[in-house]
Structure 1
Amino acid sequence: MSTLADNLNTLAARIQRAAEAAGRAPASVKLLAVSKTKPASAVRELYAAGARDVGENYLQEALGKQAELTDLALTWHFIGPIQSNKTRAIAENFDWVHSVDRLKIAQRLSEQRPTDCEPLNICLQVNVSGEASKSGCSPDELPALVAAVQALPNVKLRGLMAIPEPTDDRAEQEQAFARLRLLLEQVDPNLDTLSMGMSHDLEAAIAQGATWVRIGTALFGARDYGAV
């Protein structure tokens, strides 16, 4: 068994333990394999081990991998910052976008989504820690943004995403994730997605209701940014 398959099995066990500890069904938490800086061959190997959802931060890197992996039934998620000049390619080539942080981007994704595709699943990114360096709308901006995005025709608002300020303190991790969960309940309890939690804090995220955990390092190992 390959290292990637081993890592995938280890993560599945972590997710199962965390879900059970939170009184949740393990199947309610999905793993998003974040393959930035990793080659298409690694994604292919992970697919063979059972992964089906792939998250990408960099558009050009993602498009190259997609071109190499057209024979695989993968679901592609864009999770990085979005520039206006990249929205058309994202709308045309992804199934999910987790990192929408302003109405202009959502409008462009809706306008540029091909008419023969299903509506684009999107999450709104919220800056729950108030970091100046982080993308995301503020919690105060969220209700109006939710209402505006839900009125768009070719996108489907699924929920919220956050990348809290890193900390090793479990209580602080849970507090940040709890803020996102409470915001979801306040703006629309019918939304079904909380995209939160990464390799170092997935247990805290699952305890607070994560439905997607975005995992890179624990699956693929350290990233090689020179390869991007």
Structure 2
Amino acid sequence: MATDLPSYQSEVLSLTHVANDYYELKVKIPAGLHWQSGQYIRLGLPTKAVTDQKKVRALSPAAPEEAGYLQLATRTRQTPSSFKTQLLELQPGEAVTIYGPLGNFTLPTLDHPLVMFASGVGITPLRALIQDALSQKTTNPIELIFTAHDYHLYQADFEAWAAQHANFHLHIVKNRQAAQAALLATTQHYGNTADYFLSGSETVVDAVQTFLTTTGAINADQIHRDVLYGY
């Protein structure tokens, strides 16, 4: 339960409508909160009347702590929950509650390749992991396979990083067939020498893990999962 976790009071810095139903929320880092890239927090809205049974939502920072703020991104879908409806009404300076951090979806020792797969808004923890790895000046390959039907969140950032870092390779895809082709190519190239990071809905992550362990012959202990639940 979120109430059993360390909690911090903070405030909104900005809320931006990025595109379609994607939004980015920046929150001031409260004193005492520290996290590793890839971990997630739970966000509470103490000034709002959230009618959902779940009063908080899990969100993964899309940038390392060194960015100087909590960079959170989400999407609402066609019928937003009460929480998301209230979140979209937040104003700069408004209070929020942060619980956490949680999770172990974090970087391994950077001495071998990283293959990262994201679906939709699942890109958020991977953006932080990639930015962190590049800032550590790793020369090992980093492959990002990013699938979305309509809009690829942070695509411009990834394109800029790919232009700046010869070891970072970006694969933007829009359907299952293209995603599987890119995954198969990476497994054939790196095999079990790489760590595989998967982030997205439970259905997508389960399917990709099955594809990696069967068609790709990747050992299960090389695969790291981050599952997004609900909107």
TM-score range with shorter-chain normalisation? 0.3 to 0.5
TM-score by length of structure 1 reads: 0.34
TM-score by length of structure 2 reads: 0.34
Normalized per residue, the structure richer in helix is 1
